[in-house]
């Protein structure tokens, strides 16, 4: 069930938060051995929260729009009562255990039940979810494949129906890629649309955003997240908090650019066909759709390595902050990035920042001509576990540029491969036009119909 359906059932007494949470916890524990979506599940804390929610609903006094709704939180976002380990053995078992990030505090104030911390790659540094701390997280559609990353635990849990909402982070595609590969909806808002804790990301690439199985649920969650208390000097300009308003307005008359590959990568034929079919749906719904080979500002994007350079410098900072004896505790993939960054001249970083500035201006002008841009969310299907293939050890070409330009972008399921693997459509809008992304995705979702959940753990043998 969606979050909206759960709240409606609570209001009529058809369901209780306690029985819903118990079902979620049972399902989370049952799927954990072969999918491994959670670093920690807080049974006692979440049951206490569900009991309190049930009392509020019985009294006719729900706390907020998510009262009694189970929500998971990625293990890179501080969550009181559960340690935040960032997928790393270098952080203590009680790290940030008494702290709520602004987004998590807002969810609690709205009555949400925080029941678990989902897995991540170490410090979110790569697009598959495996780490020395938690091991591999597997794709629920095929347990031999990765769930993607770095919000891979969140994507896998949602795909299995373990709660309707998850809180993820995205510094280059870390919400959108697992959303794509797990067949769920993932939304990276405009930079700092959702408040974060002070000093979370000096590169100004990472965002906190909602993941769900429906666009309406993501809008409902975003409404809560944007109301978080904050003292963030970079917070986005004030916007209406009712992100569900206008969801039904459709795409009639919108100017949409569709790029099959952005001129940046070779897209798998099955994915290209599915995404092209999705783009035609927008035309059927009344939008004006133009095919564009490559927006001019993206010329040279991958060769400039602007995203990779900034990301490696960020990783290097993390490694240098650790004690020397902890070096052996890090993921070797992370250490490799840090060592490369250590050898880079300062000019490489300044060149990357200058290229970022030029890209942001160029895409700003591009979106004077178009309301939306459609692309595949990822160019190939998920690779096998464990490990990260050599061809995926670069910045994700179709998603990472949106972090450079701070634009809102989402991945929404648009079909399945011959082997049953989900395929994702990416929808991008001008910075601060988060409402347009949600509205367009909702229109497409209505036309597409409800996307299924992944097979239950009991219905699929590991490695089958």
Q: Give the closest residue to 181 by CA, choosing from 136, 161, 151, 210.
A: 151
Peptide bond into 386 cis (omega under 30): yes
206 carries an active-site annotation: no
428 strand-pairing partners: 373, 409
Q: Would you tell me how many other CB atoms lie within 10 Å of the CB of residue 392?
A: 18
State the catalytic residue, choosing from 31, 121, 174, 212: 174
Please name the residues in contact with 457: beta carbons below 8 A apart, sequence gap of 6 or more: 30, 31, 33, 34, 35, 140, 160
266 carries an active-site annotation: no
Q: Give the closest residue to 137 by CA, choosing from 33, 211, 41.
A: 33
State the catalytic residue, choosing from 150, 259, 274, 411: 150
Token pair in block for residue 312: 């490696």
274 carries an active-site annotation: no
**How far apart (Å, rounded) are the C-alpha atoms in residues 233 and 253?**
36
Q: Give the closest residue to 181 by CA, choosing from 122, 138, 216, 221.
A: 138
Token pair in block for residue 69: 């709704």
- Whether the CB-CB separation of 121 and 331 falls below 8 Å is answered with yes
Please name the residues in contact with 199: beta carbons below 8 A apart, sequence gap of 6 or more: none
* Host H or E run for residue 386: none
Buried b (16+ CB within 10 A) or exposed e, 285-298: bebebeebeebebb
Catalytically active residues, by annotation: 74, 150, 174
């Amino acid at each position: 069930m969606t979050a909206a359906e759960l709240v409606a059932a609570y209001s009529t007494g058809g369901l209780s938060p306690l029985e819903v949470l118990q079902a979620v916890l049972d399902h989370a524990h049952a799927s954990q051995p072969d999918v491994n979506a959670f670093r920690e599940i807080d049974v006692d804390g979440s049951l206490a929260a569900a009991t309190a929610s049930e009392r509020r609903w019985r009294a006719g006094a729900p706390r907020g729009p998510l009262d009694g709704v189970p929500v998971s939180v990625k293990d890179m976002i501080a969550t009181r009562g559960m340690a935040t380990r960032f997928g790393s053995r270098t952080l203590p078992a009680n790290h940030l255990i008494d702290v709520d990030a602004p987004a998590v505090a807002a969810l609690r104030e709205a009555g949400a039940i925080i029941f678990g911390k989902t897995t991540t790659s170490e410090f979110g540094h790569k697009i598959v979810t495996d780490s020395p701390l938690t091991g591999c997280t597997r794709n629920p559609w095929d347990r031999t494949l990765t769930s993607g990353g770095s919000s891979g635990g969140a994507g896998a849990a949602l795909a299995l129906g373990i709660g309707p909402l998850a809180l993820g982070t995205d510094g280059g595609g870390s919400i959108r890629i697992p959303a794509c590969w797990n067949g769920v909806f993932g939304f990276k808002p405009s930079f700092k649309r959702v408040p974060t804790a002070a000093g979370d990301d000096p590169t100004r690439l990472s965002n906190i955003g909602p993941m769900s199985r429906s666009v309406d649920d993501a809008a409902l969650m975003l409404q809560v997240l944007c109301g978080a208390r904050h003292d963030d000097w970079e917070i986005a300009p004030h916007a209406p908090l009712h992100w569900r308003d206008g969801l039904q307005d459709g795409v009639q008359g919108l100017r949409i650019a569709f790029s099959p590959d952005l001129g940046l990568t070779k897209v798998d034929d099955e994915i290209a066909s599915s995404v092209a079919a999705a783009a035609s749906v927008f035309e059927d719904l009344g939008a004006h759709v133009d095919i564009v080979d490559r927006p001019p500002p993206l010329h040279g994007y991958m060769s400039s390595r602007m995203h990779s350079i900034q990301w490696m410098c960020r990783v290097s900072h993390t490694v240098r902050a650790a004690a020397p004896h902890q070096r052996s505790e890090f993921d070797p993939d992370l250490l490799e990035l840090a060592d490369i960054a250590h050898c880079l001249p300062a000019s490489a970083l300044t060149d990357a920042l200058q290229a970022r500035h030029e890209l942001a201006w160029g895409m700003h002008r591009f979106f004077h001509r178009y309301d939306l841009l459609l692309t595949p969310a990822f160019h190939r299907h998920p690779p096998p576990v464990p490990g990260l293939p050599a061809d995926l050890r670069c910045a994700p070409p179709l998603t990472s540029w949106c972090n450079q330009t701070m634009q809102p972008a989402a991945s929404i399921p648009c079909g399945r491969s011959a082997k049953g693997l989900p395929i994702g459509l990416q929808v991008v809008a001008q910075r601060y036009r988060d409402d347009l992304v949600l509205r367009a995705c909702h229109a497409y979702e209505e036309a597409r119909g409800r996307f299924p959940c992944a097979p239950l753990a009991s219905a699929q043998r590991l490695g089958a």
